[in-house]
């Protein structure tokens, strides 16, 4: 693991996600750019001191010299955005498979270069867009893909949070500080942090690519250096249209991501606060409530569920689904087997490139007087 | 009553709303442009045949000649949009108070002229934007006005319906036919029919006027002559921003109007499908659930409620609240008394003018390459 | 109307319910046992002074002497429980049809005598068990009757309120005072006031009669003279079992009546706080959400709905459904026509007798050391 | 680990719960009474073959001979009910701490004996009543204990499932077979499997002991050998009363455990299907919605949460909370430190004894003609 030392929220989440299904063992790490902190974190995590490294460069260098059956196989990178590209590139080029936190890189340029590295090395790559790990989000995608709703006409996706409603920067709130700092986060704040999740969810569930965007991007809290709010009108490749909004100043909201997709014959709705439910609405018959664990669900939903119906699974399980599917694909690679389609359904380099393109396009649209801009990569 | 003959949905709703609190008696009508149909409708409704008229012109002419204590006092106009302006003008000029269905007129030009008539005659005028009649919508407005949420920053309003997901025009579905016919509805379909409700709700609850608009207006169903879908990014007078969408092709949705307003300290949420609940969210304490009938509610909510907490009131009661408040103001006028603020809280000519301006501005924006257009009247 | 003078909650509800569909006109009344108050109430309601009577005896006496096309046809009786039997009996014997508030009488003995009067006179009789007037409750009954759920196995019905959580008697709260007074309410408090509703709902929806009862009846608030809380285990005629509870000391609850019925293949759930929704659960497929106004509903639900799907109807509309159906049956009677099954689906003398038997049985069980007592009439 | 070989539902849940917070490492096991199966399961789980044992007796024997820093510290026992007592007793007497699946034993007699063993050996003991591991259930308990609701008056607890609606015994459904077999489950079916959870939840949240019980216990599905349904009226030590029901024949229900507790000033409600929400209702002010992760929550709720507000935690996290708290207490014991109150808040031997007493009392009451029986141990 690169990054994720003591006090980092997402590092702990990655570790739980990795452990949950017993598919991974944490064997080495470079947990902080400060070697002392890295060492201390490694100790707390119970690692052998000789495999806690002072830098990611050292980690790759030393690990690749270990015998094949001892050395680390998968590298998790959970650093802030500006330290995504270099370690990912180096890890892939050192022969490791990579799991990387989103957004993928600091800029679209880096993203395109990383895509080249992934293609060149042939190593496996996963980007942790958590929300697509939920079984009912997978069901939603399968449902749309099945054609039961007819052609998609409308996509509404929203992601309201409230935790940046006041100026939190520079104080104890480390999360607030780095996520609003252009040097660490890049050109976008809310759009990069949560807008990319909303965008990814919209494309994942609808199965459609966004082609045009018309955005309003705002800095609501005085003194903030990056956007904390935004909304965009969207056009999709098949002519469908949509609305996306993401905000971190909806005071009182927690983390209320929601998507609705409507086709000619019906629609569906999923909301993270009721994550084990997928609402399917029909033009001329009663709404149906699909639930995690139901025997009637697709193999994709079933594969990503651990407990029987009525035992709620949540965010950590969704995160763990990414890790587990990636592990199954890594093992299949090692064993020279063909991975099942359900295993391969984790976000990868394509999602990462499109996510970074979303950031660049949505910010460009926000700054532009032009109504619609083409979604370009 | 003008219009609202047999088979008309909204005419029946107006009659129930008027009767519910025993403040009105239906005494005369011109229920159809076809005199036979008008007569038949009047008979079903139990009116004296001599007060069922062949035309609204005849109605006003004859009624104003009756002795003051016999003649009709309030005229309800429930015709399609293209027959709003003329009867309203004539009614007001004939000395009657007027309740008119929305949208107010066929065009903004007519709306401005009607405003002049209202001001000149001094007669009372109500426009039936039903959703502002719900007690919890009134509570929401009072809540924002109280400053408890701090300055408003975000307004999200949405109105998805699904009933026009297929091409219904020209068949038995009379509602579908006139609402999609430019000769009867004007320049807008969904935007006029339900977009105006969403817009009115946004301005009513936030207490803020929209100043800029950036819209995407669509005709989704092939062959349709007016918009059946649209979304708009909004700017408000205080710098707040918002998103509005209204669609009639969200297959499987009924009539799911919803509004969310966020200020610096918290937010609130109201949804017609759970009309007796107002959700109030706070930055740093538990969400509160305000409920119709609660003793802690504002005088505006309490005045507009008939039953104790836990006895749900719905759409007809909300509609009846408009009628009742208008009646109370008419009676105060007749008795030379000052109406209470709670009574005066019904939508009027200002709402009507702004609603027609919304239609013209949103359609103009939809057709324009300019990103933001000023909201002009 | 007998009773329901100024300040009476349920009298106002009855008047709105009667007026809502324009099927009734209030023509006369004896609104209070105090002639002055009766006169004052009649004036407020706009009645001719000569048809506001000092007593119900006078009302029946005078009205039956009026010409047939002038005199009142239906008598609404909305007095406290101890003044239900006498005016009902006299009204029926004077040739009027009767609508009576529940519980039907002061005692089971009176109930049985009233049944004899109804049978003897042949006049129509309606008891206002409001909750069976909701369209989705009617749908629930039809659903069970259709056999789609298989044989009924379990019935859970509950009715928590919180308004009697403190000692309210003897003060301004007139409702609290008479409902806890054995001289006005009879042998039961909560069991008579709301337990009877729960019981009626259970038998109505399941289509099954209760045969055995095992109850725990409590007086929770110190000083109260009648039960304010109770629960009962139930057995039904087909061998199904159930649980009923009703309480007025569930602090914080409004009027949260709810029923669940499970058969061999699925179950259904209805809750007044979300009155337009019927949840239908299946053993092996997704839950379905039936909604008022849906085109797929039974004729019973459709007949009892006024507005399209998505326009919530509530308590007053449910109440009005009882009035409307009764009016349709009265008109059919007058016209010598056969009423439709949907019109006849209003609670009548059988429900009243069983409701009074429930009160006597549940209170007897509460006082008994015997575990199960037979439900006897 | 004892039991929990391949195909066992609850064994896998225990392993995930143990691993989730990295507090446990699975080092040895006797996974099946069949040595071959045990070996196979151990291999799949990646254990050293020499620490996969043919029987639990062998496991304890061999492990206790290992050096202290190598041998297993905590034994998880996840066998069917009839194999709970012996291995627990032996494990405790061999010097190990024990985590045991519920219900604790096969009979109350065994439970009392096990209590003696726990007290005598002084080793730590945890019984996995999962539902008390949810942060919002802990909040509920703290809320009641704080006195904010006043004295408790009513407790309603329910646990409907539908998975035994048909006769599943004897086929592929291993869960159904052993849970309905008196030789493996003891004298109770549904009452032991889920009734004990409901009972435990009621006592845990209310902080009150049940003193009297009046139950109706049923076998609904023909041919079944143990109860699959039941309901009980309850009395608590402070005079409060309650209703408990648990059923496995509520066709269409998943695992819908719910509790409501009402005091003099308000009430609270928690339902597993919306596990991160605690609804707090007040007599005279708006209901409040407490949510996992809220900064306003008690230290007990906060300690048992891993992710920020809005990232749902579920059943596995609740289960893991039991394991984590137990680990913290075991570590404190080893380090000679005083465990924090939050760590000690896991179900133990007292809960187990009361749970077994519940089973004996509720079944006895179901078979008795006596109305109320004293809750005896």
Neighbouring residues of A135: CB distance < 8 A, sequence distance ≥ 6: A276, A292, A297, A300, A301, A302, A304, A305, A313, A318, A321
| Nearest CB to D307 within list A13, A163, A291 | A13
Chains that touch B (3 or more CB pairs under 8 A): A, C, D
Question: What is the radius of gyration, based on Cα positions, of chain B?
Answer: 20
Calculate the dihedral angle through the C-alpha atoms of A7, A9, A15, A18, rounding to the nearest 10 degrees: 180
Residues of A with CB under 8 A from a CB of C: 280, 284-291, 294-296
Q: Any long-range contacts for B287-292 (C-beta under 8 Å, 24+ apart)?
A: B287/A252, B287/D288, B287/D289, B287/D291, B288/D286, B288/D287, B288/D288, B288/D289, B289/D286, B289/D287, B289/D288, B289/D289, B290/B136, B290/B139, B290/D286, B291/B136, B291/C254, B291/D286, B291/D287, B292/B135, B292/B136
* CB-based contact A22 D45, cutoff 8 Å: yes
* Averaged pLDDT for residues B91-102: 97
ipTM of the complex: 0.96
pLDDT at B376 over 80: yes
- CB contacts < 8 A, C to D, total 127
The whole-angstrom separation of Cα D190 and Cα D158 is 12
pLDDT at C5 over 90: no
Among A219, A227, A251, the residue to mutate for chain B (most B Cβ within 10 A)? A251
pLDDT at residue A305, as a whole number: 97
* CB-based contact A296 C287, cutoff 8 Å: no
The whole-angstrom separation of Cα A363 and Cα A292 is 36
| Nearest CB to B310 within list C45, C254, C276 | C254
pLDDT at A129 over 80: yes
Question: Is the distance from CB of A267 to CB of A260 less than 8 angstroms?
Answer: yes
Task: Tokens for D160, please give them.
Answer: 């409907």
D114 backbone dihedrals φ, ψ, rounded to 5°:
-65, -40
Q: In the sheet that C125-127 helps form, which strands lie side by side, from edge to edge?
A: C74-77, C97-100, C125-127
Whole-number Cα distances in Å, B35 to B30, B40, C134, D309:
8, 9, 38, 64
Whole-number Cα distances in Å, D292 to B231, C53, D217, D227, D289:
34, 61, 36, 35, 10
Task: Tokens for B260, please give them.
Answer: 């969310």
* Averaged pLDDT for residues D213-226: 97
Residue of A nearest to B261 (CA): A250
Q: Among all chains, which residue has been given the structure tokens 């000569």? A: C50
A263 to chain B, closest Cα gap in Å: 7
- Comparing C-alpha atoms, which of B272, B270, B277 is closest to residue B255? B272
Among A287, A290, A291, A297, the residue to mutate for chain C (most C Cβ within 10 A)? A287
* CB-based contact A267 B253, cutoff 8 Å: yes
| Local confidence band at B310 (pLDDT 50, 70, 90 cut-offs) | very high
pLDDT at residue A5, as a whole number: 85
* CB-based contact D13 A253, cutoff 8 Å: no
Helix (DSSP H) and strand (DSSP E) numbers for chain A: 14, 12
Q: Outline where DSSP puts E strands in chain B.
A: 74-77, 97-100, 125-127, 152-160, 210-218, 229-236, 241-247, 258-263, 266-271, 277-282, 287-291, 373-374
- Comparing C-alpha atoms, which of C256, C13, C312 is closest to residue B134? C312
| Local confidence band at B275 (pLDDT 50, 70, 90 cut-offs) | very high
pLDDT digits (tens, 9 = 90+) for D234-288: 999 999 999 999 999 999 999 999 999 999 999 999 999 999 999 999 999 999 9
| Local confidence band at A290 (pLDDT 50, 70, 90 cut-offs) | very high
* CB-based contact B252 A220, cutoff 8 Å: no
| Local confidence band at C49 (pLDDT 50, 70, 90 cut-offs) | very high
| Nearest CB to B251 within list A245, A253, A263 | A263
Task: Tokens for D223, please give them.
Answer: 């041919």
**Helices assigned H by DSSP within chain D:** 9-20, 35-44, 56-63, 85-93, 108-121, 135-145, 174-179, 182-185, 190, 196-206, 299-303, 315-335, 341-344, 349-367
Whole-number Cα distances in Å, B275 to A236, B88, D185:
34, 31, 48
Task: Tokens for A91, please give them.
Answer: 């890890």
| Nearest CB to C314 within list B19, B291, B313 | B313
Question: Which pTM value belongs to this model?
Answer: 0.97
| Local confidence band at C174 (pLDDT 50, 70, 90 cut-offs) | confident
Neighbouring residues of C202: CB distance < 8 A, sequence distance ≥ 6: C155, C157, C210, C234, C242, C244, C259
| Nearest CB to A289 within list C284, C286, C291 | C286
pLDDT digits (tens, 9 = 90+) for B128-151: 999 999 999 999 999 999 999 999
- Report the b/e string of A54-75 with b at 16+ CB within 10 A: eebeebbeebeeeeeeebbbbb
- 3-state secondary structure at position B52: strand
The whole-angstrom separation of Cα D167 and Cα D181 is 13
B262 to chain D, closest Cα gap in Å: 18
Report the range of poorest mean pLDDT among B357-371, C10-24, D303-317: C10-24
Q: What percent of chain D clears pLDDT 90, i.e. is strictly above it?
A: 90
pLDDT at residue A287, as a whole number: 98
* CB-based contact A214 B245, cutoff 8 Å: no
pLDDT at B22 over 90: no
Residue of D nearest to C222 (CA): D264
pLDDT digits (tens, 9 = 90+) for D64-120: 999 998 999 999 999 989 999 999 999 999 999 999 999 999 999 999 999 999 999
C148 backbone dihedrals φ, ψ, rounded to 5°:
-60, -30
pLDDT at residue C61, as a whole number: 96
* CB-based contact B251 A267, cutoff 8 Å: yes
- Comparing C-alpha atoms, which of C173, C159, C200 is closest to residue C356? C200
Measured in residues, chain D has a length of 377
* Averaged pLDDT for residues B324-340: 97
pLDDT at residue B175, as a whole number: 84
Task: Tokens for B36, please give them.
Answer: 């036979």
* Averaged pLDDT for residues D190-201: 98
pLDDT digits (tens, 9 = 90+) for D170-185: 888 888 888 899 999 9
A17 to chain C, closest Cα gap in Å: 29
* CB-based contact C314 B311, cutoff 8 Å: yes
* CB-based contact C285 A296, cutoff 8 Å: yes
Neighbouring residues of A136: CB distance < 8 A, sequence distance ≥ 6: A270, A275, A276, A277, A278, A290, A291, A292, A301
- Peptide bond before D103: cis, by omega within 30 degrees of 0? yes
Question: Is the distance from CB of D261 to CB of D268 less than 8 angstroms?
Answer: yes
D80 backbone dihedrals φ, ψ, rounded to 5°:
-60, 160
According to DSSP, the residues that pair with A102 across neighbouring strands are none
The whole-angstrom separation of Cα B336 and Cα B304 is 23
* Averaged pLDDT for residues C252-274: 98
The whole-angstrom separation of Cα D52 and Cα D28 is 6
Question: Is the distance from CB of B8 to CB of C308 less than 8 angstroms?
Answer: no
């Amino acid at each position: 693991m690169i990054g994720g030392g003591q006090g980092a929220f997402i590092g702990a989440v990655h570790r739980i996600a990795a452990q949950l299904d017993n598919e991974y063992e944490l064997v080495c790490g470079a947990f902080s750019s400060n070697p002392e902190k890295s060492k201390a974190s490694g100790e707390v995590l119970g690692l052998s001191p000789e495999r806690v490294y002072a830098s990611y460069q050292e980690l790759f260098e030393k690990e690749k010299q270990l015998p094949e059956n001892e050395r680390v196989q998968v590298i998790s990178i959970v650093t802030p955005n500006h330290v995504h590209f270099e370690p990912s590139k180096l890890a892939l080029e050192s022969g490791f498979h990579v799991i990387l936190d989103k957004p993928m890189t600091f800029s679209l340029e880096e993203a395109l270069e990383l895509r080249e590295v992934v293609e060149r090395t042939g190593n496996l790559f996963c980007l942790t867009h958590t929300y697509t790990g939920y079984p009912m989000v997978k069901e939603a995608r399968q449902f749309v893909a099945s054609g039961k709703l007819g052609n998609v006409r409308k996509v509404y996706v929203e992601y309201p949070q409230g935790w940046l409603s006041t100026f939190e920067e520079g104080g104890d709130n480390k999360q607030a500080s780095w996520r609003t700092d252009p040097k660490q986060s890049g050109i976008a704040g809310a759009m990069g942090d949560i807008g990319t999740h909303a965008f990814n969810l919209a494309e994942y569930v609808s199965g459609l690519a966004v082609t045009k965007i018309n955005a309003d991007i705002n800095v609501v809290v005085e003194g903030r250096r990056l956007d904390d709010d935004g909304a965009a009108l969207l056009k999709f490749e098949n002519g469908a249209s949509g609305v996306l909004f993401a905000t971190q100043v909806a005071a009182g909201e927690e983390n209320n991501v929601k998507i609705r997709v409507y086709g000619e014959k019906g629609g569906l709705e999923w909301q993270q606060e009721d994550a084990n439910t997928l609402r399917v609405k029909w033009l001329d018959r009663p709404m149906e409530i699909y639930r995690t664990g139901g025997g009637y669900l697709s193999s994709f939903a079933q594969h990503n569920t651990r407990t029987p119906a009525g035992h709620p699974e949540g965010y950590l399980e969704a995160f763990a689904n990414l890790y587990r599917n990636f592990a199954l694909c890594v093992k299949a690679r090692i064993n020279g087997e063909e991975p099942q389609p359900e295993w391969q359904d984790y976000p990868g380099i394509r999602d990462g490139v499109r996510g970074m393109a979303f950031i660049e396009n949505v910010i460009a649209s926000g700054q532009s007087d032009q109504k619609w801009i083409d979604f370009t990569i």
